Structure 1
Amino acid sequence: MLGSAAGGAQAQAVAQVVASGLENPWAVAFLPDGRFLVTEKAGRMRVVAATGELGQPLQGVPPVAAGGQGGLLDVITDSQFARNRTLYFCFAEPGEGGTNSTALARAILSADRSRLEGLKVIFSQKPKVDSRHHFGCRIVEAGDGTLFMTLGDRNSRREEAQKLDSHIGKVVRVAKDGSVPADNPFVNRAGALPEIWSYGHRNGQGATLGPDGRLWMHEHGAQGGDEINVPEAGRNHGWPVISYGRNYSGTRIGEGTAKAGMEQPLKYWDPSIAPSGMAFLTSDRYGAGWKGNLFVGSLKFGYLNRMELQGGKVVAEHRLLEEGRARIRDVRQGPDGLLYVLTDAQNGQLIRLQPR
């Protein structure tokens, strides 16, 4: 049983396994008929029935650079999916000579839910590098229909997170056809890539729209220093010049924890929890105590973190799903107003938090 008192109300839920047998699932999206769309890091995307039966891998998925932290990663459905059956997904796109980068693709799910049609890569991170780490790769559709995507620093190229002629260590914003919105902050700046929305990021593996309609994200720190940020147009979030973490050798990163012109995180964790997945609960299915809370999975410690917010700040944290100590890769609110999580394992599970 999961239980926590919050806001004067007792909110309780139980973990209910919807599906098992998923190999290192990375993201879940929801189909209008009650089915689920799930990615598996090795390069498979499949439809999962409401009863938990796993469909065959979809045909038409592009080749992915599967290895390390790379593979087939996030997926979302278009806000008009019931009408156009369009989805967006990001993946580690192979390049020449063993290089790769994060790419964003658009496709249509066939009427029989067996394949992807009309596949088009609408954004590809530049440059491609030889790395198996820090792909970022969370996608959010904004209220205006544009798409945000997080891009990691690729580990070995972290200094490029501060350079505007590189997509490394950035959040980018594009239209659904891959074109650049005219109001992006660096559209008219010489030497800057126009897709960039914000920069100075390390490795964002969680992103969502907040109740205020703004983009919220979290990102992995090094040794300590995982952060929650609210990226705004043109802002510099500091990595690797400032950080609350340390190098794995124990040495200091950059110039300290603050510098003029660089944003402070809304929250940071030390020690790191290795966050993945991010969702606000907007429904009242679990009682008033949970509504408006922010939920983030922990890969390192194997729990779901429920955070209470006041005035845009985290004021309390509660650990859920601790019993199994499973790596939580994704968390989403479904159309039914309930929370769903994916566990990152060879025999990964899709779990529903069922109100008691």
Structure 2
Amino acid sequence: MEKYTLHYRNTHFPFLFVGLVFIKGGYGDFEYVVLQDKDESRGYLSFTGVNQARRFSKIFLNENSCQKILFQQKMLITELRDFSLSNGNFLKDNPQGYWLKIKELCFKIGHLYRYCEQPMQAILEEKVLEAAKNQENLTRALSDEDFAREIVFNQQQLNYLERLHDFGKMEYELHIAMEVIFTSIYEFAASVGSKFGYAFDEILIFKVEEIDKLFLGIMPSSLEINERLKGIAYFPLSEKILTGKKYEYWQKKLEPKIDVPEIRGAIAQKGFARGVVKIHLSIIHVQDLPTGCVLVAGMTNPQMLPYLSKVSAIITDEGGLTCHAAIISRELKVPCIVGTKIVTQVLKDGDLVEVDADNGVVRILERA
């Protein structure tokens, strides 16, 4: 049986956006299964998909290719900011043109944001870990270049380390700039839904080509849309959508009940903490956090930055050496464990946990 690995779990991540970025030339180049429950999306890479991402990561060993990608990402950030400033009456005056612009920008996001994702940086991370000799040295080297030189990083290895930093910073900037796309998709869904007689949630579950056809007066099956609202298993490579019992099969296969006393991940910032769990899954929205809580997330989003100084520790499903959670935890000196793959599935709001980020272990002390 093929193994599947969680890549991301986010809310406020509509299926319409999934369809726009999981295309050929974007995330659709890798074998995924996406589970969608209304606006919550979970993406699982198959064993084949993980290997595809690993082969893809060889591009990071080429300096010229990396500089070209970073330049394209900067141009995309400029385009996203310009789109944000130019919105005005664009949607009201020309909804079809507005949709075409969203499609254009999302294609670029799907192509360029993936270079900032941990599965697609696998070989680069391995090169840096090999140079550091162990995880403890690596954690320190990521925030102290002088230390990296002390432990005999050669110039090529220092270049790899710098590349990781560059793409980590770029991920942060891209994520902030991308907020306009999510708000624009929601505004588009409300406006077009009202015009064509569909509920807001229904438009968000449309396939990309169904929106295209909507402007030609071709409506999708209401029965099929209603089935999708109950849950979708989506296979981007084949563009196949499964609902009903077939969706339930994949949901149980990919997300079996997990009962474990502890959870392990990669150390992003060492330290020790004990606290009550607070889960945050939104890709763009924020929420206030109780002082001293243990933040559990698919991945922290940059919009949460003002609240992160209040937490005693951070644990994430996804992420690598230079993900947002890792960078911020090192700046704030907050214990952090990333890449657990299961933490949002295992823990619930109110659980009492012990975070041993010296050893990359989360222990469950008491259930809520």
- Give the TM-score taking structure 1 as reference length: 0.24
Which of the pair has the greater relative contact order for Cα pairs under 8 Å at 6+ separation? 2
Structure with greater helix share of residues: 2
Higher Cα Rg: structure 1 or 2? 2
- Give the TM-score taking structure 2 as reference length: 0.24
Structure with greater strand share of residues: 1
